[in-house]
Structure 1
Amino acid sequence: MSVKKKFTATVAAGAIFSGGFIGLTSEKSPISITAEETQEEKVGVDKKSPENVIVMVGDGLGVGQMEIARLLESGKSGDLFMESLENVGLMRTYSADNAVTDSGAAGTALATGEKTYNGGIGVDSEGQETDSILDLYQDQGKKVGVISTNTVTDATPAAYTASVADRDGQDEIARQMLEHQYDVLLGGGADYFSPESQDGTDLVEEFQSSGYEVVDNESSLEDAETPEKLLGLFNDSYMSYKTDRDELNSEEPTLEAMTQKGLDVLSQDDDGFFLMVEGARIDHAAHAADATGVWQETMEFDRTVEQVVNWAEDRDDTMVVVLADHETMGMSATEPMDIEGLKDIEVSPEYMAQQLATDEETGTFSVESVKQVFQEYANIDLTDQEVDQFLTKIEDNDGEVYAAYRVGWEIGSVIADHYKVGALDTDIRAESGTGGHTGNMVPVFATGAGSEDFEGVMDNTDIIELIANSAKDNNGKGPENSNGKGKDKGKGPNK
């Protein structure tokens, strides 16, 4: 963020941060405040307070997406690993100006504890810059990083690393990332670091000159070992869907590989670290009502959760929080859902859209092309009437055909309808400023040091407080969330 030193704190029984109360309860607290000896006596000290915090965001991941992934992966008696974490809650996600949030406002609430308007990044509802918990960790000399399967400059990672009035300013977000020298930045978005986006400046070269090792594919990430600072840009735009990587001969690393490298780099510092890991394309698949893509992206995210929890399980200094920023498309596993039919689909609706051929006379896709793509990739035989209905939905008000990802939304909705997947219809999505997000509560899972308070119903602005105020106070009682729910900490994984 451009202005980083607005955080002021006083110690009595706690500190004021972003307009909310955060008690200081540990000599290893993420927010370290110098206090007089008499003041320190008023603060309960607990060395179990997390030295390392790993926040894992499944973008757009609601309980419906989880259920679809579980059923397609292992059937009705199967489990996702994240479901095994001992602390479980539900979270409300509304933004400052809407009952339904976008990812910018949602990420900002998670990262800073502030509600903002849809589209805002790292600013409050008045547009004023606000610090994120990542910044507070960095200010205390701890290593910090963000990892995403989207562009590394998109809404969720940007909310932890930048302040812009509009999330579309990804070129400015990239500049702020360089300015603040975050230790690990891994994801897509190379275009935003290029001379074409940066008024002739090659931002990647600037990162290299600042001491970063720069990688751009799976093998170079593996060869990077453990540099002090690491920038990885693995796609010009967002990283490829899991379903498409074989077709594209992709050399992009998995989310697991990026996360393992991030842990290797950040854990070199004995002072601790903060890491945000985003499984971003769950949301993108859900926008297209693409149950197959939701399955594949959610399972990669779940495997990464297991990897991180296994990394942390022998430590008493690490908290892992797994949550979503919002839910997308109201997805659900219906009774007639054709699980086997969905499992047979091997590419994303966006990939299918890119295979459509344009009819020179009409300026839209040819009927034959539409039929061929649906039959080849989705095992669906469309009628002429169904093709006509599809073609009316892929043009804007000026008669121009949408970009491939938006055409993919309509392809995915046709597939979802055919295979009986529960999801918002296309008319509701078209009227939605967020492209189909909902106000549904989303799950929160937590484990490790200080995680016991992640229980009950909470608000997205509670998350930063629950992390920063995670140790016991002198009465053995944890902080309350916004609904007044606190938890006796006499029981839990660190008892």
Structure 2
Amino acid sequence: MTMRKILIVLAIIVVQWGCKSSMETTGAVTEQDQPLNVILMIGDGMGVPQISTAFYFDDRSANFERFKSIGFHKSASVSHWITDSAAGATAFAIGEKTYKRAIGVSKDTLPKETILERLQKKGYRTGLISLTAITHATPASFYAHVKDRDMQEDIAEQLVTADIDFLAGGGKKFFNQHADQRNLFKELEGRSYHLDTLALSTPMAQKKNAFIIADDGLPSKVDGRGAFLKEATTNALNYFDGLNEPFFMMVEGSYIDWGGHAENADMVVTEVRDFDETLGVVLDYAEQHPNTLVIVTADHETGGVSVGKYYEKDAETGKQVEVPQKVGVYFNTDQHSGELIPVFAKGRGAENFQGIYENNMIYHHILKSMEAHR
């Protein structure tokens, strides 16, 4: 090969290497370079014992096993060591601790921008899914600003103008039975929402969607709710996928908490199973979309639950005997507890959620993950 040919070959190699390097650093956008989707799943009232039931009451493997990055948060509010859902979710939403019963406000009752509102300003689409009223404490903390969680008509009014792209849950009475005779459903439709108050129908691709299908909360699993949480989450993910824009979505498994308050073991077990099945859908999506961060946690634990030996009465002796291949779910209280709460994370930035920290740091860990992967 002549010197001229050698120089030409070397030049081609240099150009190809330069193009590849440029694409990797400043050129074509890969999926890893895209803005980070964030899916925050909150199992209301779900501590380690509740999660443990997913490993004993199903033949399949729990989707919780798919996580490698795990931490714990400290759930206390500024007013009470034992928090409630309002203060707990608000800490996630605004990045600072507040008082018990507060919704989207500081400890001094000042409205604070939520992570949902912050990301909307950055061009993010947003979604909220709950099994309770969509105006209930956990979902409300991401878009509303009121001094007390029971101000649900005020919260509903704020939802109308919150411009959330996908809504699914209950709470019809706070929209169509308003004390001042306002029909907030008509106002939502006036803001170009596709509204369904009867069923979880197919979302309309180029409109905002609101599925508010129960007067208050939906039924529990033991009362026949069906697969609403899984189906609503699947519909939301398909909807956001079609928009091809970054999104933030919060999904609440609400009735794990209610099972603890009722000291109802079957309710706890079935609600955790339902949450875990929905988690499987979310994790499958995240694995197919590398620009996605999934965080799973709870606002607090409810019931002081423990998982221990299971006993049955022996037919011959009448004595209580242990059943080796069964476990029992036991309650220490019908109220919230002060347990450390697990945090599971998967996807880009998951390493930021390891360790033990205050609950409001989840907000900051999300932002850190987003900044690191711009």
Match of 1:185 among 151, 154, 167: 167
Letter paired with 2:196: V
Count of paired positions:
329
Letter paired with 1:70: F
Structure 1 unaligned residues grouped into runs of 5+: 1-45, 339-418, 430-435, 479-495
Match of 1:228 among 199, 202, 207: 207
Q: Which residue is 1:14 aligned to?
A: none
Three-state SS of the structure 1 residue aligned to 2:108 is coil
- In 2: Cα distance, 1:288 partner to 1:200 partner: 35
Three-state SS of the structure 2 residue aligned to 1:316 is coil
Structure 2 unaligned residues grouped into runs of 5+: 1-30, 313-326
Q: Deviations over 1:3-46 (max 9, x none)?
A: xxxxxxxxxxxxxxxxxxxxxxxxxxxxxxxxxxxxxxxxxxx9
Q: Which residue is 1:82 aligned to?
A: 64
Q: Which residue is 1:204 aligned to?
A: 185
Q: Which residue is 2:315 aligned to?
A: none
Q: Deviations over 1:454-481 (max 9, x none)?
A: 11112111101111111686xxxx9xxx
* Residues 164 and 472 (structure 1), Cα distance of their counterparts in 2 relative to 1, 3 Å cut: closer
Match of 2:250 among 272, 276, 279: 276
Q: Does 1:54 align with 2:39?
A: yes
Letter paired with 2:194: E
TM-score, normalised by the number of residues in structure 1: 0.63
Q: Which residue is 2:49 aligned to?
A: 64
Deviation at 1:256, TM superposition (A): 0.7
- In 2: Cα distance, 1:144 partner to 1:187 partner: 15
Q: Is the 1:320–1:446 Cα contact (8 Å) retained in structure 2?
A: yes
Deviation at 1:48, TM superposition (A): 5.0
- In 1: Cα distance, 2:71 partner to 2:247 partner: 25
Q: Which has the higher strand share?
A: 2
Q: Is the 2:54–2:276 Cα contact (8 Å) retained in structure 1?
A: no
Match of 2:332 among 424, 430, 454: 424
Q: Is the 1:105–1:116 Cα contact (8 Å) retained in structure 2?
A: yes
- In 2: Cα distance, 1:330 partner to 1:89 partner: 20
* Residues 337 and 331 (structure 1), Cα distance of their counterparts in 2 relative to 1, 3 Å cut: farther
Match of 2:351 among 435, 452, 462: 452
Q: Deviations over 1:224-249 (max 9, x none)?
A: 4434201111210111011111xxxx
Deviation at 1:207, TM superposition (A): 0.6
TM-score, normalised by the number of residues in structure 2: 0.83
- In 2: Cα distance, 1:121 partner to 1:337 partner: 43
Q: Does 1:330 align with 2:304?
A: yes
Q: Which residue is 2:365 aligned to?
A: 466
* Residues 333 and 168 (structure 1), Cα distance of their counterparts in 2 relative to 1, 3 Å cut: same
Q: Which residue is 1:357 aligned to?
A: none
Q: Which residue is 1:297 aligned to?
A: 271
Match of 1:216 among 190, 193, 197: 197
* Residues 71 and 179 (structure 1), Cα distance of their counterparts in 2 relative to 1, 3 Å cut: same
CA RMSD of aligned residues (A): 2.1
Three-state SS of the structure 1 residue aligned to 2:299 is coil
Q: Which residue is 2:78 aligned to?
A: 96
* Residues 279 and 199 (structure 1), Cα distance of their counterparts in 2 relative to 1, 3 Å cut: same
Q: Deviations over 1:365-405 (max 9, x none)?
A: xxxxxxxxxxxxxxxxxxxxxxxxxxxxxxxxxxxxxxxxx
Three-state SS of the structure 2 residue aligned to 1:72 is coil
* Residues 117 and 471 (structure 1), Cα distance of their counterparts in 2 relative to 1, 3 Å cut: closer
Q: Is the 2:203–2:239 Cα contact (8 Å) retained in structure 1?
A: no
- In 2: Cα distance, 1:253 partner to 1:335 partner: 30
Three-state SS of the structure 2 residue aligned to 1:336 is strand
Percentage identity across paired residues of the two chains: 35
Q: Deviations over 1:253-275 (max 9, x none)?
A: 61011111112223333330100
Q: Which residue is 1:239 aligned to?
A: 218
* Residues 224 and 274 (structure 1), Cα distance of their counterparts in 2 relative to 1, 3 Å cut: closer
- In 2: Cα distance, 1:100 partner to 1:115 partner: 13
Deviation at 1:73, TM superposition (A): 2.4
Larger RCO (CA under 8 A, 6+ residues apart): 2
Three-state SS of the structure 2 residue aligned to 1:298 is helix
Three-state SS of the structure 2 residue aligned to 1:186 is strand
Q: Is the 1:98–1:117 Cα contact (8 Å) retained in structure 2?
A: yes
Three-state SS of the structure 1 residue aligned to 2:128 is strand
Deviation at 1:216, TM superposition (A): 2.7
Q: Is the 1:82–1:322 Cα contact (8 Å) retained in structure 2?
A: no
Q: Does 1:315 align with 2:315?
A: no
Q: Is the 1:50–1:470 Cα contact (8 Å) retained in structure 2?
A: no
Q: Is the 2:36–2:292 Cα contact (8 Å) retained in structure 1?
A: yes
* Residues 84 and 110 (structure 1), Cα distance of their counterparts in 2 relative to 1, 3 Å cut: same
Deviation at 1:83, TM superposition (A): 2.7
- In 2: Cα distance, 1:228 partner to 1:459 partner: 37
Three-state SS of the structure 2 residue aligned to 1:230 is strand
Letter paired with 1:442: I
Q: Deviations over 1:279-330 (max 9, x none)?
A: 0011111111111011111111111111011012122211111111110011
Match of 1:443 among 323, 342, 348: 342
Q: Which residue is 2:120 aligned to?
A: 138
* Residues 71 and 47 (structure 1), Cα distance of their counterparts in 2 relative to 1, 3 Å cut: closer
- In 1: Cα distance, 2:191 partner to 2:122 partner: 21
Q: Is the 1:49–1:450 Cα contact (8 Å) retained in structure 2?
A: no
* Residues 47 and 420 (structure 1), Cα distance of their counterparts in 2 relative to 1, 3 Å cut: closer
